């Protein structure tokens, strides 16, 4: 049987890794759906009705599965981390309750109107429902990230002891909930969600364009639908991909200032050093460095002094405090280091992919470059993968703390939980969540295979000339 601490951490990691897929899809789709709805109402162009109806199906499925898996996460605070919940419930429970009462209820209330009410309500009310659903989705992220960011940079609290139990009391709600980490996490997460969905949309559209041989002269609503999908996704990708890299650079500096131990783990700096390289691609010189990476002992493509520059905001000679200087044990460095490398490499690839596609669009060859289409197909899930490894850096890099500098994860586990109980639930959740993810993938794949829905009325490009298609699409 596994140790209850290890099993509880593994179970929470498993459920979080699966759950995060669905909020990413719903949060990322929200601004697209608002735009499609607005264009559908304003222009009456059938392609926007197709876009709205098609992607609303995937949004609705993501919302339902995300709700189911998200509720389980909140229960795990009580079943596996009762000591943490008891100690920090006054401060941690507020944002979670607010998320349910405010954001979830707003989203759930208007989702029925948005999914089923297009022909039953006015254009104005339907537009309100689209905005309300999108707003509710993003408000959910606000309160979840308020709680998580407080765990990273706790503020506005004081420690007390009640019956021998450590208790975290809320004394300054503004300082606690507007803690310094929240704006960084929120902007980075929401942009990552939109970027991930843009990649997914571009990947699906590229697959259809590539396999069906769709080009600028192809007739029919379906061809126009996939061309429009690809171009809208590319426009969003051109904005979000470079922004994610620029914002990530500033975010990394904030982490270096507020969580220097995590930053040292991200860069595998054990001894305090300066002019530390930033490896974009790193390869171990021997097998032991896979599980024990150390800066300056790796071979790879990197920027000399880049990590020092990142930590200091411009000084490649800046000193980075090594992991050996901290009193608490180091986080699992290999997991944090390699996850960070994967996230950074993916981020730069997204920028390359966006500008490659933009160049092909500019030269009029967007639909003719099969290699580009294959690259989009291969990258369609990489945005979600980047979110996953980014959260691994965030959560594993904070270890051994569940609340940075206040409570260790081992102290937050339910005291009565046995290794047998934790192991059984871990295995059970493994089967259940694998099944849920498989079912979700099957349903989404089926929606995509069915293609865009039929809409009434002749579109403006049912029998277009090549010139008209190129100009309009």
Q: Where are the alpha helices (DSSP H) in 259-332?
A: 260-267, 288-291, 306-312
pLDDT along the chain (473 residues), means of 10: 91 94 96 96 93 96 91 89 90 83 80 90 94 93 93 92 83 93 97 98 95 80 92 97 95 94 93 86 80 81 84 86 91 94 94 96 93 96 97 95 93 91 93 94 95 69 37 48
178 DSSP assignment = T
Q: What is the pLDDT of residue 385?
A: 97
Q: How far apart are CA 44 and CA 198, in angstroms?
A: 24
Tell me the torsion sign for CA atoms 336, 339, 341, 343. Answer: negative
- Please give the structure tokens belonging to residue 150: 């407080």
Q: How far apart are CA 196 and CA 391, in angstroms?
A: 14
Contact 383, 350 (CB under 8 A): yes
Q: How far apart are CA 288 and CA 258, in angstroms?
A: 30
Q: How far apart are CA 227 and CA 277, in angstroms?
A: 42
pTM for the whole structure:
0.92
Q: List the beta strands (DSSP E) in 149-251.
A: 157-162, 165-170
Contact 62, 29 (CB under 8 A): yes
Contact 29, 63 (CB under 8 A): no
Q: What is the pLDDT of residue 465?
A: 36
């Amino acid at each position: 049987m596994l140790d209850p601490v290890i099993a509880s951490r593994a179970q929470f990691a498993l459920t979080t890794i699966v759950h995060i897929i669905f909020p990413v899809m719903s949060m990322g789709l929200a601004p697209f759906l608002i735009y499609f709805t607005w264009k559908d109402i304003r222009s009456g162009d059938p392609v926007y009705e197709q876009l709205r109806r098609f992607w609303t199906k995937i949004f609705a499925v993501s919302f339902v599965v995300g709700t189911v898996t998200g509720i389980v996460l909140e229960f795990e605070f009580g079943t596996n981390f009762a000591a943490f919940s008891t100690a920090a419930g006054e401060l941690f429970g507020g944002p979670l309750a607010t998320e349910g009462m405010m954001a979830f209820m707003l989203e759930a209330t208007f989702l029925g109107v948005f999914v089923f009410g297009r022909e039953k309500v006015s254009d104005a009310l339907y537009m309100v429902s689209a905005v309300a659903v999108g707003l509710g989705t993003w408000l959910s992220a606000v309160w979840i990230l308020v709680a998580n960011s407080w765990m990273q940079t706790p503020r506005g609290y004081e420690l007390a002891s009640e019956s021998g139990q450590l208790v975290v009391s809320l004394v300054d709600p503004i300082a606690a909930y507007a803690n310094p980490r929240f704006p960084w996490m929120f902007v980075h997460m929401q942009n990552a969600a939109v970027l991930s969905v843009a990649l997914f949309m571009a990947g699906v559209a590229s697959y259809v364009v590539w396999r069906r041989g769709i080009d600028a002269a192809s007739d029919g609503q379906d061809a126009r639908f996939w061309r429009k999908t690809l171009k809208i996704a590319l426009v969003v990708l051109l904005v979000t991909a470079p922004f994610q890299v620029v914002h990530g650079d500033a975010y990394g500096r904030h982490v270096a200032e507020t969580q220097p131990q995590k930053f040292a783990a991200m860069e595998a700096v054990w001894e305090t050093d300066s002019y530390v390289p930033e490896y974009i691609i790193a390869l171990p010189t021997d097998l032991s460095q896979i599980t024990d990476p150390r800066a300056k002992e790796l071979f790879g493509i990197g920027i000399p002094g880049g990590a020092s520059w990142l930590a200091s905001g411009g000084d490649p000679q800046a000193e980075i405090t090594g992991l050996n200087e901290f009193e608490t044990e180091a986080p699992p460095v290999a997991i944090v280091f390699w996850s960070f490398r994967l996230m950074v490499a993916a981020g730069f690839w997204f920028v390359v992919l966006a500008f490659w596609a933009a160049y092909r669009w500019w030269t009029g060859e967007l639909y003719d470059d099969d290699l580009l289409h294959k690259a989009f197909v291969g990258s369609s899930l990489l945005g979600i993968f980047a979110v996953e490894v980014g959260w691994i850096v965030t959560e594993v890099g904070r270890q051994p703390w569940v609340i940075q500098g206040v409570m260790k994860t081992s102290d937050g586990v339910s005291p009565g939980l046995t290794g047998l109980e934790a192991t059984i639930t871990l295995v059970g959740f493994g089967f259940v969540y694998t099944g849920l993810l498989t079912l979700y993938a099957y349903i989404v794949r089926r929606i995509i295979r069915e293609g865009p829905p039929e809409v009434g009325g002749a579109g403006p490009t049912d029998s277009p000339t090549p010139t008209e298609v190129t100009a309009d699409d």
